[in-house]
A and B are shown apart, each in its own frame.
Chain A
C-alpha cells in the first residue's frame, strides 16, 4: 500500500530576525490520525500552524496537503484543499450572532466533495456535542469563553474540512469543559476527521492522543506515543527548562 499523507511538511525552515521559529521541521500526518503537538512556550507550535496554513511563508522547505504541493499557495487556496484552522486566541466574529457566525463558512468553496455526507454528519455531531444552536440570535461576545472556543471549532467544521488544525482549544477551560472537548474531538476523529492539536495541557494530551510530536526551539525533538513521551526524561527537562 502506498503510504499517503494528508499533511506533510518537508525540511521546513523559518526565522524571524535572530529567532529560529522552525528548524528543518519534517511532519507527516496520515488520514484519520489524531495528533498532538506539544512543547514549551516559544517552541514554534503556533508558527508551524501558520506555516502549514500559509498565513506565513516558509523560508525554505515544502508543504503538501493531500499530496498537493501548496508551498507557494495563498492561504485561502490551502483551505480549499480541505484544511481548517482554529486560532490560539479565539477569533469568532464577536459582534455577530451565533447564527451568522455559523453561516459564514461555505462548504462549496472546497475542492473535494467526496465526503460531503460524512462532513455534514460531523457538523451535526459537533453542534449537538457542543450544545450550539445554528438558529441562535445571541451575539457571540455574550457567550462564555469555553462556548466561544467550541463555536470556532464548529464554524471551521461548517466549511467541511477533512483535516482540522486546532491551536490550544482548551486553554482557560475547566476540567469538565476540557473533558467534553476531548470527547467530541475523539468522536469527530472516529467519524473520519484528521485532527492535529497544539496543546500545553498534559491532562488533555494524555486523554486524547494516539501519537505525540514534541517541538523544542523550532525543531522536532521527539515523536512517539503518549506513554513514551511522558516517561521521557529529556521531555520533562524541556518542560522544566533544563534542556539545551
Chain B
C-alpha cells in the first residue's frame, strides 16, 4: 500500500526520480519554508505572489504538456474565480460562511464556464488549432466585458465591478479572527503549491494520467483501445481550469483587488510562456520557470520598464526556436547525460 503511494508520487511522469533528486527536493522545500524568517513581511508577500501563480502554470503543463491541448485563455478562469469570490465574499461580509462560500462559488463558476466551453470544442472533435484560438477569444471578450462595467449600474449586491479600475476591497480569507496575510499568506501559498504538485504527480503516474499521456502521443490509437478521449480531454481541461481558479482565488487574497487586465491578452500570454520556457512536459520545470519569470517580470515592471513585453515576447520566440522542449527540461537532460557519462567513466 505504502509502496504504491510512493510509486505514484515518485513515478516517471516528471523529471527527477532518483534518491538524490528527492533529497534535493526536500532541502529546497525546507529552504522555502525558512525563507520568511530571514526577510521582511513585504518581501515574503512578494514571494507569495510568485508562488500563487504556480497552480496556473501547473494547469498549463497538465493541459498542454501532458494532454497536448493548448489553451491561450486559462486566465479567463483565473479571472472568473477571482471576480466571483469578490462578489460573493464582498456581499457576505460579517457572515462566517461568506469566505468559504466565495471560494466554492469561484471554483464552481469557472468550472461551469470551462465545462460548457470544453463540451463544445471536444465533443465536436475540432482541429487542434481551434481550441487555443477560441480560448483566446473567450478571454478577450471577458476583458472587454469587464472593462465596460464602470459605474454604479454595474453593481452586484453591494459590490461594484469597477470597469477598468477593477474590483477593490475584496476580503481576505480568515479562520475565526486569524487573517491570512503577510507571512501566514506566504505559508498558505507554499502549502497549496506543494499539495498541487504532489497531487498532480500522483494523478499523472496513475492509470488515468498514463492514458492522458497516451492521448497526447497518439489520440486515434488511444481511442482505438476503447477510451473515450473526448471525455478525458474534457476532464483534463476542467481540471486545469480549476488549477487556474486556485491561482485566481489566491491572487484576490494577496492584493484584495482584481482588474480586467488580469484576463487581458498580456496576462493570457504569461502561463503559456512559463510552460514553454520551463518545458511543458515537466511539472517541476514549469514551477521553476513560473517562479523565476514572475520574479523577473515583477522586478522589471516595478522599475517601470517598458520593455517587459518585448523581453517576454523575445524569450518566447527564442525558446520556441532553440529550446523546443523548454530551457529547464533541456538543462536537466543535459545534466542527466553528463552525470551518466561521469558515472560510466568511474566504473570503467
Q: How far is the CA of A84 from the CA of B225 in the complex (A)?
A: 7
CB distance from A135 to the nearest CB of B (A): 14
- Residues of A in contact (CB 8 Å), total 26
Main secondary structure of the interface of A (DSSP, over half): loop
Q: How far is the CA of A240 from the CA of B229 in the complex (A)?
A: 43
- Residue A75 lies at the interface, judged by CB distance under 8 Å to chain B: yes
CB distance from B99 to the nearest CB of A (A): 42
Chain A residues positioned under 8 Å from B211 (CB to CB): 104, 106
Contact B225 A106 (CB under 8 A): yes
Q: Which residue of B lies closest to A93 (CB)?
A: B217
Contact B217 A159 (CB under 8 A): no
Q: How far is the CA of A105 from the CA of B213 in the complex (A)?
A: 13
- Residue A55 lies at the interface, judged by CB distance under 8 Å to chain B: yes
Q: Which of B221, B223, B228 contacts A93 (CB 8 A)?
A: B221
- Residue A96 lies at the interface, judged by CB distance under 8 Å to chain B: yes
- Residues of B in contact (CB 8 Å), total 17
Contact B213 A96 (CB under 8 A): yes
Q: Which residue of B lies closest to A87 (CB)?
A: B221
Chain B residues positioned under 8 Å from A104 (CB to CB): 210-211, 214, 222, 225
Contact B214 A76 (CB under 8 A): no
Contact with A along B207-243 (1 / 0, CB 8 A): 1001101100110111111111100000000000000
A residues 74-111 with Cβ under 8 Å of B? 74-76, 79-80, 84-85, 87, 91-96, 100, 103-106, 109-110
Q: How far is the CA of A155 from the CA of B223 in the complex (A)?
A: 13
A contact set with B: CB distance below 8 Å: 53, 55, 74-76, 79-80, 84-85, 87, 91-96, 100, 103-106, 109-110, 155-156, 159
Q: Which 10 A-B pairs have the closest CB atoms?
A: A79-B226, A109-B226, A91-B221, A105-B225, A93-B217, A104-B214, A76-B223, A80-B226, A76-B228, A159-B225
B contact set with A: CB distance below 8 Å: 207, 210-211, 213-214, 217-218, 220-229
